[in-house]
Amino acid sequence: MTVLFHRLATREFVAARRWYAQYSPATEGRFVAAVRTAVERIDANPHIGSQLQGPYRWVRTRRYPYVLY
For every residue of the chain, DSSP letters joined together read ------HHHHHHHHHHHHHHHHH-HHHHHHHHHHHHHHHHHHHH-TT-SEEEETTEEEEEPSSSS-EE-
User: 2 lies in a domain?
Assistant: no
The total number of structural domains in the chain stands at: 1
Print the domain residue range for 51.
7-68
The per-residue pLDDT for range 5-50, each reduced to its tens digit, is 999 999 999 999 999 999 999 999 999 999 999 999 999 998 888 8
Q: Determine, yes or no, domain membership for 28.
A: yes
pLDDT the model gives residue 12: 96
Question: Model pTM?
Answer: 0.88
The reported pLDDT for the residue numbered 29 is: 97
**13 domain-assigned:** yes
How buried is 57 (Cβ within 10 angstroms: 0-12 exposed, 13-18 middle, 19+ buried)? Answer: middle
